[in-house]
Amino acid sequence: MPRHLIIGNGTAGFSAIQAILEYDSDGEITVISLEHHLPYSRVLLTHYIGGHVSKDNLYMTGESFFKQKKVNLLLGAAAVNIDPEQKRVELDNGRVLSYEKLLVATGGKPVIPQHLQKESPDIMGLRTIEDASYIRQKSLSGAKIVIVGGGSLAIELACALREGGNFPEMVVSSSHVLSRVADDEAAAVIQEQIQSYGIRIWTGEDVTEVVHTSKGVEGVVLSGGQEISCQVVVICKGVQPNREFLDRVLPTIRGGIKVDSNMRTDIPDVYAAGDVVEAYELSRQEFCVSAIWPHAIAQGRIAGMNMTGQDVMYEGSLSRNALEIFGLPVISMGITRVPAKRDWDLDVNQDKSSYCKLVYHDAKLVGAVLVGKVEKAGKLQAAIRKAAGIETVLN
């Protein structure tokens, strides 16, 4: 019987394996992976599409790591149900595994709106190596690609495709790109940079229909009535936690798995980490899903350590993101969209090539958006963390 069972072979799962091995070199770990791959870096997928990273370099480790550390890796298997009483996990291939400590690190899956869910390989999200390989192959063969969404993944994908010689078009439902992060001014700088490289952005538009014939996708119809002809539609509208198999034992209406500061769920001996959880967010001071790489690493590590019997607290995550648009870096962290209330304060600095916005709440730094000149980003993050930390200590 494996003592440590990990469902999910992504960043958080791998980080947890390393933490468990650090404290318990004979940890008897079994990892269940839905994908037929060794753990790889999802963030690199756009770089792979852009041709900057080879497929081999996507992987975080080699097969030898699992052999050497005696970690049992079950590829291509999915958990369908867990039985907290008997401490057992049921797999889709009928196998039943028991555990002493369980980590749920199943990550997320792309959100695909109802009206776009069609049986076609050309309407897709971007989450796995297979997705990335497909997009890369299509891009190299000169297919026209429409990206639905204006978040950081959409922009990174657009840039990567352009770097590979493809000219995609973006359909953004908000009035500008990065609507959850940037304000109008910052977005204007970013949008100008994207458009100057020949990528067309349709703002304030939604894809109402995908024109789909027996030959495959032929185009999309926008809410404004325009039609764009294309062969591939990539939907980048965020991710949602992969937690259906837990619905019976941990019912929630929406969102991720709730965890406490030790990354424990409400079920005894079951931990959760990564994109699937709702963890404490420092700047907003609430529990929310924050699906980014550093959080998955930190949460996986904390969960792994606690599974071996340590008592380590997770200090909370600070939502943040960094991306580069053809040499123009954009970094955002903390609260960046401000409600129009009195105790919020903004400090905006803008010149031709750079934009910097600092957000204060009750005279404390809670967020920042930097475009162009981003050298001080790390220092600002430390300041935000310190400001948030002081309050939690006082409380």
Partner 1 sequence: MLSIKVDTVKCDGCSLCQLACSFAHMVLNTETGGQQKFPELPDPLLWVKVCEGEVQIDICRHCENPPCADACVAGAFKVDMERGIVEIDQQKCVGCWSCVMECPFGAIRICSHSDKECTLQSRAFKCDGCSMWDKPLCASFCPTGAVQIARNNNGAAAIQRRERAALLQKGLSLGAARYVNREIKHRA
Partner 2 sequence: MGSGVIKKIVNVIPEACTGCRQCELICSFEQGGSYSPRLSRIRLVKFEDKCLSVPVTCTYCERPICEEVCPVGAMTHDPVTGAAKVNEESCRGCKECANACPLGAIDMHPEKGTAMRCDLCGGDPACVKYCPAGALKYEPPHHSVKEKRRSRVVALNLD
330, 182 Cβ separation under 8 angstroms: yes
Taking the least distance from each CB to partner 1, the nearer of 130 and 326 is 326
Token code pair at residue 387: 């400001």
**385 touches partner 2 (CB under 8 A):** yes
How many binding residues for partner 2 (CB under 8 A)? 10
Site string for partner 2, 262-301 (x = CB under 8 A): ----------------------------------------
Name the minimum Å distance from CB 168 to partner 2: 39
Taking the least distance from each CB to partner 1, the nearer of 82 and 333 is 333
> Which residue, among 203, 205, 199, has the nearest Cα to 159 in the 3D structure?
199
**326 touches partner 1 (CB under 8 A):** yes
Q: Which stretch binds partner 1 (CB under 8 A): 39-47, 93-101, 206-214, 309-317?
A: 39-47
Token code pair at residue 340: 């129009």
**389 touches partner 1 (CB under 8 A):** no
Taking the least distance from each CB to partner 2, the nearer of 104 and 263 is 263
Residue of the chain from 82, 103, 277, 302 that contacts partner 2 (CB under 8 A):
302
**393 touches partner 2 (CB under 8 A):** yes
**154 touches partner 1 (CB under 8 A):** no
Give dist(CA 169, CA 226) in Å, integer: 13
Taking the least distance from each CB to partner 1, the nearer of 30 and 191 is 191
Q: How far apart are the first and last CA of the chain?
A: 43
Name the minimum Å distance from CB 358 to partner 2: 18
Name the minimum Å distance from CB 50 to partner 1: 8
Give dist(CA 19, CA 27) in Å, integer: 10
Name the minimum Å distance from CB 315 to partner 2: 6
Residue of the chain from 100, 130, 266, 324 that contacts partner 1 (CB under 8 A):
324
Judged on CB neighbours under 10 Å (0-12, 13-18, 19+), 214 is exposed
**199 touches partner 1 (CB under 8 A):** no
Q: Which stretch binds partner 1 (CB under 8 A): 22-30, 51-59, 106-114, 217-225?
A: 51-59
302 binds, options partner 1, partner 2, none, Cβ within 5 to 8 A by partner type:
partner 2
Site string for partner 2, 305-344 (x = CB under 8 A): -------xx-x-----------------------------
Residues in contact with partner 2 by the rule CB under 8 A = 302, 312-313, 315, 382, 385-386, 389-390, 393
Residues in contact with partner 1 by the rule CB under 8 A = 41, 43-44, 47, 52-53, 57, 60, 162-163, 197, 293-294, 297-298, 320, 322-324, 326-327, 329, 331, 333, 374-379, 381-382
